[in-house]
Each structure stands twice: as structure tokens, then as C-alpha cells.
Amino acid sequence: MSAECSSYLNADKVLVSGFSCPRAGGDARAVFCCGFQDIKYCCDDPHSFFPYEHSYMWWLSVGALVGLSIAAVVLFAFIITVCVLCYLFISTKPRSKLDTGLSLQMAGKTHLLFLLC
């Protein structure tokens, strides 16, 4: 069993010609053509993953940054709204104190003399 890896442009935009798997001098078990659009290689498992930086990973990072930025703006707007509502609630409260039901009166003159003695 063998597989054909077609030609491709690598990460440096250099054309790499196609080849057959397994490669001469390589592992005889590597009969599958694996890899991605910008790198291809022979492997023994057609579902293997080659840890290689790809251009689509950059777009995932940009997408994550945009998503996090939008979430941060929404959180900031929520905090500002809560602060404004708290300020409005506190500033519109009546300034007078509540009536406790006790009236304060000045002591009469007789009570004053009694206290002085």
C-alpha cells in the first residue's frame, strides 16, 4: 500500500514537489500522506496530528482577542451603568431625616433650677 502526496507551497511559499509514501530511506510503516495545506509528510496513522504552526491559528487568536475585547467593553458598560444608577439613587434620596416620633423640648425654668441645686 502506498499514498501519493501532491505538491504544495510550504510556509515560506516555496513549491515542494509531490512524493510517494513510504519515502525512500524512511519508515516503511509510513504509508499514508498526512499533513496540511502548507506541509505534507508520510505517516503510519492517517489521523495523526503534526504540531506545526499554521496560518489559521493566527486567525483563531485574532478571533479570540476580538471576542475578549467585546466582552470587556460589555463588562465595562455594565459597571458604568451600575455606578450611574447608584449615584442617581443616592443623590435623589430626600435630605430630611426620618421622624422618630419623639419631640425634643427645652426643659422648663423650674426644672432648670432643680437641676442646678
Q: Render pLDDT for 2-50 as a digit per residue (tens, 0 to 9).
A: 788 889 998 889 999 999 888 888 888 888 888 888 888 888 877 765 5
- Stated pTM of the model: 0.40
Helix or strand or coil: residue 75? helix
- What is the DSSP code (8-state) at residue 38? T
- The ranges assigned to domains in the chain are 4-43, 52-92
| 19 contacts: CB under 8 Å, gap ≥ 6 | 4, 5, 42
Per DSSP, which regions of 1-117 are E strands? 3-5, 8-9, 15-16, 19-21, 32-36, 39-43
Residue-wise pLDDT for 69-101, tens only, equals 999 999 999 999 999 999 998 888 776 666 666
pLDDT on residue 65: 84
- Is-contact 72 87, C-beta < 8 A? no
Question: Between 108 and 70, where is the model more confident?
Answer: 70
pLDDT on residue 57: 57
Question: Between 115 and 37, where is the model more confident?
Answer: 37
